[in-house]
Amino acid sequence: MADWCGDVIMGNEVTLKNKTILITAAGQGIGGASALACAKAGALVIATDINADLLAKYDGVAGIKTRVLDVTDGDAIAALAADLPDLDGLFNCAGVVHHGSILDLDDAAWEISLNLNITSMVRMCRAFVPGLLRRSQSEGTASILNMSSMASSEKGFINRTAYGATKAAVIGLTKAIAADFVAQNLRCNALCPGTVDTPALQGRIAEAPDPVQAEKDFIARQPMGRLSVVGDLTPTVVHLLSDNSSFMTGQAVLVDGGCTI
Beta strands in 103-147 (DSSP E): 142-147
In a domain, 215, yes or no: yes
Contact of 175 with 250, CB cutoff 8 Å: yes
Q: For 182-218, what is each residue's pLDDT tens digit? A: 999 999 999 999 888 888 888 888 988 999 998 998 8
**pLDDT exceeds cutoff 60 at 2:** no
In a domain, 260, yes or no: no
Say which residues have a Cβ less than 8 Å from residue 185's Cβ, sequence separation at least 6.
136, 137, 140, 141, 142
Same domain? 219 vs 159: no
201: containing domain? 195-227
Mean pLDDT of all residues belonging to the chain: 93
| pLDDT-derived band at 152, boundaries 50, 70, 90 | very high
| Segment (H or E) for 132 | helix 120-139
The catalytic position among 128, 163, 181, 218 is 163
Same domain? 147 vs 204: no
Residue 93, domain CATH:
3.40.50.720
Same domain? 176 vs 200: no
Same domain? 129 vs 209: no
Q: What is the pLDDT of residue 201?
A: 84
Told to judge if 58 belongs to the known catalytic residues of this protein, a careful annotator would answer no
37 — phi, psi (to 5°)? -65, -40
| pLDDT-derived band at 93, boundaries 50, 70, 90 | very high
Q: What is the pLDDT of residue 6?
A: 41
Same domain? 77 vs 40: yes
Same domain? 119 vs 109: yes
Same domain? 200 vs 180: no
Q: For 18-73, what is each residue's pLDDT tens digit? A: 999 999 999 999 999 999 999 999 999 999 999 999 999 999 999 999 999 999 99
In a domain, 8, yes or no: no
Contact of 117 with 163, CB cutoff 8 Å: yes
Q: Is the pTM of this model over 0.95?
A: no
